[in-house]
Chain A
Amino acid sequence: MKTAIKTVDLTKKFGDKTAVNHMNLEIYEGEIFGLLGVNGAGKTTTIRMLTGLSAVTDGDAYVFDLDIKKDLQKIKSLINVSTQETAVAENLTVKENLKFIADIYGISDEAAKTSMQNIISSLELGEVQNQKAKTLSGGWQRRLSIAMALITNPKIIFLDEPTLGLDVLARRELWKVVQSLKGKVTVILTTHYLEEVEALCDRIAVMTNGKIKALGTADELKKSVGKDSLEDAFVEIVEN
């Protein structure tokens, strides 16, 4: 399998606080990779470093063999991110928001049109497509925010707690979308819903205090601590 992301002793410090501590991780092309951990474990900080939003303190990371310290500009056009906070332009409509992101990633009008149609239908944004983002409810803004990460057809997509604030139906829709990416797009997903991880992720890393505590498939993690449910396994891994 080809490597999409490789981190080498990747470290982030905020003053005395080490948010990510010598992380060594390899994520393969086309896999859906789950990043689990309690609040403050360092998931968002990891994503921020890998997307160029936060400077690396120590160590390094490679995205398709491109060095995030040197080739960030090249990397940026290959990836996209749905941040933990909803991020939309309030006075633009749903369609305008999508088109705007496509434009700043240099996607051709033709390609943008096709992928806009796909996304609008897969995330069921059709009925609100001409509505200004600020008039949408929180969950709908969230969907738009995720759609804006998908519109550029990235090779790697980072989804930081994508299903936060989504209703059950919307969550299921998003699961379908993520599943349809499997094998084509590398997905790095964080979430606090363990059933989501089980439904979607090929492999899972459990982080505590900025370190990877366990890594494997859901079954492997359960087996490693002798638990039947992922939730019990997670608690066991985090607490010991």
Chain B
Amino acid sequence: MKALAFASRNMKELLRDMISYIFCLGLPIVMLIVMTLINRSIPQMEGAPQVFNIEKLTPAIAIFAMTFLMLFVCIRVSSDRSSAFLTRLYASPMKSSDFIVGYIVPFAVTGVFQTVITYFCGEMIALIVNGESLPVGYMLLSIPLLIPSIVLFIGIGIIFGTFFNAKAAPGLCSAVITAVAILGGIWMDIDTMGDGWKTVCSCLPFYHSVQYARYAMVGNFDDMLTPLLICTAFAVVIFTVSVMAFSFKMKSDKK
């Protein structure tokens, strides 16, 4: 009940801020459209990278959009932490688990919604531009599979928001957003980038997220399994760290 009340407050704070719509919903849609247009304007050569094809682009952008959830949760946590409002909540009977659940739930719900919108938009583009549908069945099936990625990004956001102040935290998130863009294999095919590069990408969860989302989208569940498991493992670790970080900070704030 306490966690739910806090979740509802965080949801309202998110929904009543215009910026959330622009970044969490507007940006993924715009990126889908722009990338499709770019893809169409460049001549298709044999062996050219396929990353801009709509069935590869849509899941990748869905993952990329989650970085904005990370940014928003991070801003929420860090600005709460610098406000007297959180002090008041610390004095209330809320436990640290209530705080964590209250921060995660609204952003996770937003993440699922964002994915649905992105996939819907991808399907529209596929129909209009290519005249053929994406595999809608697999697409719907893959949405719940993206939850580990959502948890992963929200967890990173909570960790940054917990340890850094409202000025530094968004900057760090931007660094992660850039890293995801470059190392996630969203805009380019990592396989063609050389071994060193690929190793770096494989050590981080982002590339795996994008990979498994792409496999899930086309129903290639055999190839999906490994990156999904890697990403889930990362998500579990990051989530655990975020819970510990917040509880630790809550105690150390009482100095």
**Could you tell me if A86 and B5 are in contact, using CB atoms closer than 8 angstroms?**
no
Question: Which of A138-184 touch B at CB < 8 Å?
Answer: 148
List, in ascending order, chain B residues with CB within 8 A of A84's CB.
Answer: 84
Select which of A53, A77, A88, A132 is within 8 A of B93 by beta carbon.
A77
B17 located at the interface, meaning its Cβ lies under 8 Å from any Cβ of chain A in the complex: yes
Q: Is B6 an interface residue (CB 8 A)?
A: yes
Contact B93 A89 (CB under 8 A): no
Q: Is the CB of B88 within 8 A of A83?
A: yes
A76 contacts across to B, CB distance below 8 A: 91-93
Most buried by B among A14, A55, A104: A104
A96–B89 CA distance with the chains assembled, in angstroms: 15
Give the number of residue pairs across the A-B interface with Cβ within 8 Å. Answer: 76
Chain B 58-95: CB-based contact to A (< 8 A → 1; otherwise 0): 00000000000000000000000001110111111111
Q: Which residues of A contact B87 (CB under 8 A)?
A: 53, 83, 85, 87
> In the complex the two chains form, is B91's CB within 8 Å of A104's CB?
no
Residue numbers of B with Cβ under 8 A of A are 1-2, 4-6, 8-9, 12-13, 16-17, 83-85, 87-95, 98, 254-255
Residues of chain A contacted by B13 (CB below 8 angstroms): 89-92
Can you list 25 A-B contacts with CB-CB less than 8 angstroms, sorted by A residue number? A14-B255, A52-B254, A53-B87, A53-B254, A54-B254, A55-B255, A73-B93, A80-B91, A81-B91, A83-B87, A84-B84, A85-B87, A87-B83, A90-B13, A91-B12, A91-B16, A91-B17, A92-B12, A92-B13, A100-B6, A101-B92, A103-B1, A104-B5, A105-B93, A106-B1
* A91 vs B19: C-alpha distance when bound (angstroms): 13
Tell me the complex Cα distance, A55–B253, Å: 9
Contact residues in A for B2 (Cβ distance below 8 Å) = 103-104, 106
Determine whether A51 belongs to the interface, using a CB cutoff of 8 Å to chain B: yes
CB-based nearest A residue for B80: A89
Contacts of B16 in A (CB 8 A): 91, 132
A167–chain B nearest beta-carbon distance, Å: 21
Residues on the B chain within 8 Å of A88, using CB: 85
A91 to B1, CA, bound (A): 21
Q: How far is A106 from B6 in the complex, measured between Cα atoms in Å? A: 12
Q: Which residues of B contact A106 (CB under 8 A)?
A: 1-2, 93
Known: A54-B254, A85-B84, A92-B9. 7 other contacts (CB 8 A): A53-B90, A53-B91, A76-B93, A89-B9, A90-B13, A96-B12, A105-B93
Known contacts A54-B254, A54-B255, A104 near B89 by CB under 8 Å? yes
Contacts of A77 in B (CB 8 A): 93
Residues of A near B85 (CB, < 8 A) are 87-89
Complex-state Cα separation, A85 to B98, whole angstroms: 24
| Chain B contacts for A53, CB-based, 8 A | 87, 90-91, 254
